[in-house]
Structures are given as C-alpha cells and as structure tokens.
Structure 1
Amino acid sequence: MAKRSPAGTNVNRVRQQNQASQMGQSDTEFGSETNVQAARQANQQSQARAAQRNQQNQQ
C-alpha cells in the first residue's frame, strides 16, 4: 500500500515526479506552455456567466 501524507498525498508518487522534474522528464504543464490569451478569455467568460447568474438570483 502506498505511503500517504496527512493530507492524503501519495508520497512515493510525489518523489517520482520530483525526480523526473529534476531530470527534465516531467509530464506536468509549466507556465511557459500555458496559452495566456486563452486562459484570460476563459476566465472572462466564466466571470460573465457568474455575474449573470448572480443577477438572475437577485431578481
């Protein structure tokens, strides 16, 4: 069974990811790979939908 931290994190998996990252073999996304424009647009759309829902709930 996998060793878990108090928060429930798989300690062995984290160690593997850290080691892979140090060797340049990480499979996680880095900020340089993020499409900032697309993220901003998605955030803007999400905020607009939330504002619209809030406005409808207040009526």
Structure 2
Amino acid sequence: MIPLANKKSKAGTNVEQVKQQNAASAQGNYGAEFASETDVQSVKERNKKAEANKANNAGNYGQQ
C-alpha cells in the first residue's frame, strides 16, 4: 500500500499538497505559497516604471 504522503495522481500531482493548498485558500491564504518566491521590491520597481511609461506615452498615441 502507498503511504498517503506520497500519493500521486495519474498525472503526477501530489494529492496531499493539493489538499493543503485548498485548505489554505479556504482560510483566505490564497497565493501565500508564492509569497516567498516573489521579490516585492522588484515588482514595485517594475510597476513604477510601467506607470511612468504610460504617462509618457499617453500623448503619443498614433505618432511615429
């Protein structure tokens, strides 16, 4: 018999991990599993640059 901790679906999905993620999302922690992988400062910097580019390009629509 396969232990539950190592139970995989036919596609190779870790069933227990999915159950844990589903439980976390039900408690309002959706996306928390990605939080440690996200560089918040980098995202803020890219958002700031994108906003600046939007402002600079707003008056240039249709111009080459």
TM-score band, normalised by shorter chain: 0.3 to 0.5
**What TM-score, normalized to structure 2?**
0.43
**What TM-score, normalized to structure 1?**
0.45
